[in-house]
Amino acid sequence: MRAQHRGTRWCVAVLAAVTFVVCAAVPVAAASPAAPTPTPSSGVTASTTSASGSALRWTDPHLTSPGGLSAGITHPDVWWTFDAQAAHTRLIALDSRGRTVATYLLQGVTHWNALTVVKSGSAAELVLADLTKGQSEAGLVTLYRVDEPAHLGTGTLAVKSYRLKYPDGGHDAATLLASPSDGRLYIVSRSTVAAAVFALPGALGPEVNKLTRLRKLPFGVRAGTFTPDGRVVLRTAADIRIMNTIRDPELAGTIKTSRAVGDAIGAAADGRSVIVADKGQRSARTVRLPASKGKTPLAGATTPVSDNGSSPFDFTGGPSGPPGGMLGTGALIGLVVLGMLGGLLYVRGRRTAPGGARAAARQSTRGRRRRR
């Protein structure tokens, strides 16, 4: 009986230990949010007003409503843009004074509403797309890539096209982002209430390329850009919002702006400011950004968007490995061991129970004989 009591106490102790491990493992499994919601950081003023001034003034009659602004890589002193209201869209290069220094047509492409520039090996590419809802009713959109011209001028550029598919139907969008650290491309849907961020595959192929829904943003987005230090700057209808990374669950800051009618925003080469162009205006404004707390990506540390191959990036919400991490795996192993020990104790008890009963019966018989 004492042995059985000791076995029971030992089993209860093991159960308590395993329960402790399981409780410790639960927060680990719960600490991998798939879609964080940005909130103002406790250490950053959530709403600040930044001084702004005129950055670019242009006189090009074909540029009445810039639909995008992206700094060149092959030509870092050039801003690439286009007129969003034109019937036949042209690619326009503006110098630092706002003068048109190059205009191009795209072979076989007459309209697009999103533009970004991405490093590709030792060169650079302009990436464009028509992301309007009318073009993505079936969840399909077409992405265009052209080499950034080595010499600025006029002409028609050859285009490589790729088909993309949303995982959840069509979306209206006008924001195409390119990460300065790895060249990864993102699409941000356009909405007045909430937006969604979609990641393109790390490598685009000739077949339909599936987009990955990365996260939801609890505010509408009209335009956006990466800064050279990796921050994400998004333009809403009333302000400019900053995140330290594309996955950051906290806002690094919010900048109130006097006007927010347009879909063009671009980051300066030093990452300290952005320029914002408004619809119907002949100039773009400079808006200073708060100082970055991160490190500037190393030059050349990019992964170009290649023509084929598999994606080296993981957007599943956490690192690979056993579910729940090491603690979760240990808890599962502990439960298995506990089950095995419980089974052994049960079998042992079944085997010893009949012998114990017979011994008790013999002891009772001896007692009766002595009383006689």
- Alpha-helix runs per DSSP H in the chain: 2-30, 325-371
Q: Are 287 and 274 in contact (CB under 8 A)?
A: yes
For residue 106, the model assigns a pLDDT of: 96
Judged by DSSP in three states, 50 sits in coil
For residue 27, the model assigns a pLDDT of: 38
Is 189's pLDDT higher than 90? Answer: yes
The DSSP annotation for 213-248 comes to EEEEESS-BSEEEE-TTS-EEEE-SSEEEEESSTT-
Among 57-71, 288-302, 305-319, the minimum mean pLDDT is found in: 305-319
Predicted TM-score (pTM) above 0.85 = no
CA end-to-end distance (rounded Å), the chain: 29
| For the chain, domain boundaries | 1-32+318-348, 39-288
- Tell me which fold the domain 39-288 belongs to: Neuraminidase (2.120.10)
For residue 20, the model assigns a pLDDT of: 44
